[in-house]
Each structure stands twice: as structure tokens, then as C-alpha cells.
Structure 1
Amino acid sequence: MKKYSILVPGGAGYIGSHIVKELLHAGHHVITLDNLSTGYRDMVTGGLFIKGSLENKSLLDDIFSEYQIDAVMHLAAVSLVGESVELPLKYYQNNVAGTVNLLNSMLRHNVKCFIFSSSAAVYGKPENIPITENHPCDPTNPYGRTKNFVEQILKDCDSAYNLRYVSLRYFNAAGADESGKIGERHTPETHLIPLILKTATGERENIRIFGTDYPTADGTCIRDYVHVSDLAQAHLLALNALLDGSRSAVYNLGNSRGYSVREVIELARKVTGRPVSVIEAERRPGDPPVLVANSDKIRKQLGWKPRYEDLETIIRTAWRIENRN
């Protein structure tokens, strides 16, 4: 199989680092670009690392000139929903303007293969469950709107410049690489599974359940969790499809099964063998009761086959690195 040079903005982050690892394993030459505002240098397991930002247009041009990039996998977004409400301009500047800088530099150097880290946040409050790619996009926060805006920009770039892209709409990324060397690391941590595991280790006193009166079986929100290594695999499949000449496409990435907050906590107790103290709190504004993906499209068109569909297995991989840390 031919080897390519892939630029990965945001490759030092949680999902990006797992993608870099998969690309390296496949034999590709990887250039990671990250400003380390939320990523970590030691999460990048190989290839070339460049510290820098998408705001630096001259740096982007230098990278494309020097390394003969074949494709770009873009993960360099800020992604905290609550922060996006408080600091919307930060999100539009980084997630939208930064992406425009990247796309302009790509086109100046005739690079027309782009894989975008999108989000289920583009859908907003779902009208139908499970959610298909044809569901209307009506994001309810600035973070989701930035992802939706970029998807619209990509559609226009395809029409105007023949820049082909795959947009991957993640549901809830979870778990860690089987090696136990890289995994989820955020400051502050906002994701449910690592917060539960930090409670199990004693780093946190308790885990809060925000809302216990939703119209679900146990009253708590239901979410679709997808293993981070399965996300990485999907990026490689998307890369191969684009490099083989496939047209632009949008795909959901989820396991198509939902777990409630209480179910996640109980599975974490089982995996860790430790108590997890729970505090019930009021609902958070804007939290939909159920978010579950329909991922049939990517399974059928690209042959995506998640290796970690069972949530208990996903939690075990996360616990391995959390317990070690």
C-alpha cells in the first residue's frame, strides 16, 4: 500500500493522538501541528511534531511547501460547550477562522484531501432517534455552530475548488489505546467516564448526575459512546476512500446503542471494583434526554467495523490508564 504524508492539526490531543498512532502504524509519514493549549507533547507517539497554531498563516505555508502534504486530518478545535457559550468569539476565531486559514493554505499548495473532526453537536436537540446524517442540523450552542459552519464551508469548497472532504460527526468519544500509554487527558476534565473513574481512584469525592427526571427508563440522560481507537480507524478508512477518488461525504461515528448515566456509573463500579459516590443535581440547560447515532452509512460505504462496541470493554481500556496515572 502506498504511503502518504498526512498533516494532523490537533494531533497532540485525546482523539488526535490516537489517530496519529494509527497513521504511523499504517506506515504513513505524519506531521503533527499543535499549539499544546489543550494537547500534550508526550501524547504524540511518533512522526514529526511542530508546535504552532492555525492562526500562523506563514507557518502553514512553510509546512505545505516543505513536506509535500497529501492530505489533512483536522482536529485542532476548542470543544467545551459551556465555554463556547461564555466565550463565543474564541470559538469562532479558532474553529472557523483557523480552519479557513488552513483551507486557504491547502489550496495554495494544491492539497485537496481533507478529513474533518465534526460533532453530533451539529444536530442540536434531535427530532428522531437514532440520528441519521440526514437529520436537520440546528445546533444549540456556539461550539456546535462552529462545526456546522465549517461543514458548510467545506461543501462550498468542494463545489468551487474540487476540494474533497469527509466530515466525521463524533458522538461520545471514550476509552483509551490498548497499550495504556495514551488516553483521555483534559484540563479541566468534563467527560463523564473519566470523571467517574477519577471518583473511583479517590481523586474526586463524587460524581454528579445532572437530572434524574428525564423521560428515560431510569430518569437519566442516554448517550452513545464510541471507542477512540474505533474513531481513529474510521479516519484511516476515510483517508483511503478520498485518496482512491471517492466523493465528499458526511458520516456519523457512534456505536448505535445508548447507555444512561446510571448505567455508565454501574459499569464503572463493576470494572474498577470500587465505590463511586453519586450526588443528584438539577438538569443542565440544553441537555437532550437521548443522543444515539445511526452509523449504518459508514459501516456500509467504508466498511467500518468498531472493535469495542461493548461499553464495559471501553471503560476497561480507560481504567487501565486512569489507574496507572
Structure 2
Amino acid sequence: MRAIRQHRNFAVRLMEHLVVPTFVLDETGRVIIWNRSCERLTGISAGDVIGTKDHWQGFYTEERPCLADLVIGNAAEEIADLYSVDCSSDPARGIFSAENWCHLPVVGGQRYLAIDAGPIKDEDGRLIAVVETLRDITVQKMAQEKLEVLARQDPLTGIANRRMFDEYLETEWLASTAVGHSMALLMMDIDHFKAYNDTLGHLAGDSCLQRIAHLVTNETRRDCDMCARYGGEEFAIILPRTNLAGAVAVAKRISMAVALAAIPNPGAGRGAKLTLSIGVSAFDGDNRPNSPTDLLNAADLALYAAKQSGRACVCTPHQTLAA
């Protein structure tokens, strides 16, 4: 018995001094170990939490289950509702893994934690405790999020890039057509932009693209609208829950904003100002393209018609309108 006690005491001391933040719950959910690394992570001392079910206070501002509690309750199905990511690879054995943003109430601030929890059972297979370990991977998560933003953001203008545009178009098409909502698309091109670039240089061209992006986004005022740099001097806007007439109104508003900005384009002639050609298409009661590709092609053809009609105008698949 003495040897067993010595081994048990050694195991407890070992766990208490692990560099990985770790706590252990008994089969009722009460804390029996709260190691020093866990104290440093949460700012809560072992003496304040051992023997209680207050371990959640180290990580959340409101009472809710920690991953170890879900192991005790054999509640793997609740992970998706409580955690940002379910990483469990062996839930059948009661070993759960997840990731979550946690607000640490005592030390303050948010940390993104990778969490693992698994059962400890006796010789008869009965649960006697659950171990939860935590790794602070906030730096890695923030770096990942920045990379994800960069992957979908045009680096020059700061608005969405072609990749994000394509993803959002597909998503909104499925959402709109599923419930019969209208949606519209604007394709726009800066008129005589090559002449602008050739005359004033590429740095001026870059500044011009940034300014146009700012003007365009200012005229699309809803959170659900997406403005994207489609490529070169071409921009595109997705307008959910908007019919053709509504999209034409937005297009004219954008044209007016660019006209009022009065950006000189000396490459296009003396006194010339920058203008936009805009093509508009929609999925609504009178217009029923069969796919997002068809919607995009219709807007592109309308843009081409606007260019052929003398530029600085708005064109739908059916008619050319004064800007």
C-alpha cells in the first residue's frame, strides 16, 4: 500500500509540474488537480478551485461545460455547438479534442486554446477521472486568420479579390435561388485606364485604383453587398436581394460619385475626366439566368455593350442607359 501511495503521490506531483496547463476532474466533475501551468494561464490558484466545479471560470465569463465535462457526460455531439473547431479523432473512446476562443476573466484578454480531454478508468473500466490539457495557440491562430484574409483580399485596394468574389457569388446564388430572392451583379471598367497609366505612370495608376475602389464601396452601403477587384481596372459588385432596377440605381449612383470626384485623365484628352462603363445583370422576376456563370456572363456582355456604346454609361442585357 505504501508503494501504491508513493506512486500516486509521484503522479500527482508530476502532473502539477507539467509545463502544459492541465487540470483533472473526478467522475462527478469536481477539480482534483489544477497544475501550476494552469494557474499561470488562468490566474486562478489551485486552492481556489480544487474541490469545486468552478473550473469554467478560468476560461469563460458565463457558466458552460468545459471539454472535460463533455467527456464525463459522454456528450461528443455538443462539441460543435460549444467550440470553434471539433478536432476529435477518437470520440468513440471518449477522447475529445477541440479549439476555442476563450475569454480569461481573471488575467483578461482572449486566447485561442487547443484543448484535449480524455478519461481515466480503473481496472474494471469505470470512469474515475478526466484529464484536460490546454495549449495556447493564439499567435498561430492570428497568423492563420491574417493569411486567410490576405488570400481573399486584393493587396492594392483592400477590397475582396477574384477568389473571394467567386466564392461569395456561388454562396449567394444558392441562397437566393433556394428561396426565390432576387440578386444582381455589376461589372464595371475604368474607361481609358491604359491611357491614364501610360501618361501618369503606374504609381498614379495604383492610386487611381485605390480611389475608385473607395468611391465604389462608399456607394454600396449594405453589409451583404460585396465589392471586389475583378482584375486589372475592372471591378465587380454582388448585390443580394436586389432586382435589376435596384442594381441600375446603384450603378448610376456609382457613376455619379466618380463624376463628382472629377479625376483628371490627361491621357484621354484635354480636360478629360475618369469615367466608368458598367454592365448590370440580375436574377429576378423578369430575368432568370440558369447559373451564377450565366449571371456573370450577362453582366459581362452588358459591360461590353456599354463600352461599345461610347463608354461612361450603364448597360443592362436589354438596353443602354445614360449614366
TM-score by length of 1: 0.20
TM-score by length of 2: 0.20
**CA radius of gyration, larger in:** 2
Comparing both chains, which one has the higher relative contact order based on Cα–Cα distances under 8 Å and sequence gaps of 6 or more? 1
